[in-house]
Amino acid sequence: MGGYLPSIADGLAQTLPDGAVGRKVHLELSWKQMAQRLFSARVFPAHASALVLCMAFVGCSGKPRESRPERRVEMFPAAEKSEPAAAPAEPVEPLAASDTKPDIKPDSKDVAIVLDSGEDAVSLVDLREYKEISKFHIGKEPHHLMATPDDRFLIVANAVSNNLVFLDPHSGEIQRRIANISDPYQIGFSPDRKWFVTVSLRLDRVDIYKADDFSLVKRLVVKKAPSHLIFDAASANVFVTLQDSNEIAAIRLSDQTLLWKMPVGKTPAGIRMTPDDKHLLVGIMGSNYVEVVDWRTRKTVKKVVTAEGAHNFLPRGDGKNVFVSNRVAGKVCELDENSLTVNRCFDVPGGPDCMEVTKDGTELWVTSRWVKKVHVVDIATGKMKKIIPVGRSPHGVYFFGHAARS
């Protein structure tokens, strides 16, 4: 039976919402639901019956990767509430001997930094040779990363380790750690650099910290499965997608108040603000489109069809176009943010997710969650240029020499 499990797990992953891989899936789905998803998606049909038998007779218990709190089914959910601010996060931990590295010289060769969320590791990839040159343990379930506003560090958020790890953005070498950041699945700094916000997908929370010292200001219960976030230009509000309730939520940062929720399509994932600050773009992973929302009137104004599993966004860097990854279809589409129309789509197999564009605008690097690969696409032609093997379930990707974030 053990030989079937990796294939079954990979197949089931193709049917699950973002962040579900690595969780105890039986807490989210019944045995019948999992079997139905496998059969209906025609994913590894030869192994689906083995999965059902395994769960029925032995529970597929095995040795779990993590011990995680179970998500209870609430017959009568309580009203949403916020928790008062807890004690500030622990001060930055001193570097352990194994973390201490020499100063990075300005002429050091930059690398691509890839989060292997299924291996709790980081892969460092040579940008010129297109190959993995190093791998190291980073923490439990690293999913997303982002540079600090001053570009001095690259922050890796370890969702299960409950910490942030600061890397040198050029070399990927560990510089320091901050503990007691609870379940940071996705992270973001407000444009005014005052707030640092994390969303806790498995705990149904949004945590708001002071950006200067990472002390917790307020913890909000926001159901269900908060996933991705984005700010408005004025840093007045943060907007969060809620994968399991098919909604987006708006939180006012000045007093950390949940302002509103509104329904959107099935399983919303990535979210982006258009450059004119007028519309939210929401990747509807449970369908095939990007939902365009006027956040001031709380109305959907358009649904832009891309491809199945519309998931995440990355600006091309030209101030006009944004790339949209579509996990299920295995495609990346280019969307014009002025006309809100699709320019083109091209193939990127294996569950395309996070992306990065080279500074010269010639290459798009895409992590493919289901096949342990990073795909490098020639942007001009939309053709595959290189395929780079990395670790299991690659998620976030970054390199210092990237295109503008607009």
Architecture per CATH, 108-398? 7 Propeller (2.130)
pTM exceeding 0.85: no
pLDDT at 401 over 60: yes
pLDDT at 138: 98
pLDDT at 13: 47
Tens digits of residue pLDDT in 277-289 = 999 999 999 999 9
Count of all residues that appear for the chain in the document: 406
pLDDT at 144: 98
Rounded CA-CA distance 401/150 in Å is: 14
Rounded CA-CA distance 141/104 in Å is: 27
Nearest of 275, 279, 274, 270 to residue 313 by alpha carbon: 270
pLDDT at 117 over 60: yes
95 band by pLDDT with thresholds 50, 70 and 90: very low
pLDDT at 186: 98
- Amino acid symbol at 116: D
What percent of the chain is modeled with pLDDT above 70?
A: 73
Tens digits of residue pLDDT in 158-167 = 999 999 999 9
78 band by pLDDT with thresholds 50, 70 and 90: very low
pLDDT at 175 over 80: yes
Nearest of 402, 406, 397, 399 to residue 144 by alpha carbon: 397
Tokens 């973001």 belong to residue: 188
How is residue 17 written in tokens? Answer: 């919402």
pLDDT at 31 over 60: no
pLDDT at 87 over 70: no
Nearest of 366, 393, 396 to residue 6 by alpha carbon: 393
**Mean per-residue pLDDT, 204-217:** 97
How is residue 215 written in tokens? Answer: 């002390």
pLDDT at 406: 84
Tens digits of residue pLDDT in 64-76 = 333 333 333 222 2
Least confident piece of the model among 74-78, 92-96, 97-101, 342-346: 74-78
Rounded CA-CA distance 83/125 in Å is: 41
Tokens 């006009």 belong to residue: 320
Q: What mean pLDDT is reported for the chain?
A: 82
109 band by pLDDT with thresholds 50, 70 and 90: confident
**Mean per-residue pLDDT, 85-94:** 44
**Mean per-residue pLDDT, 333-345:** 98
3-state secondary structure of 27: helix
pLDDT at 292 over 70: yes
171 band by pLDDT with thresholds 50, 70 and 90: very high
Domain ranges for the chain, please list them.
5-57, 108-398
**Mean per-residue pLDDT, 136-145:** 98
Phi-psi domain of 204 (left: phi exceeds 0; alpha: psi -120 through 50; beta: other): left
Rounded CA-CA distance 320/203 in Å is: 36
Residue 83 Cα to chain centre, angstroms: 25
pLDDT at 187 over 50: yes
pLDDT at 332: 98
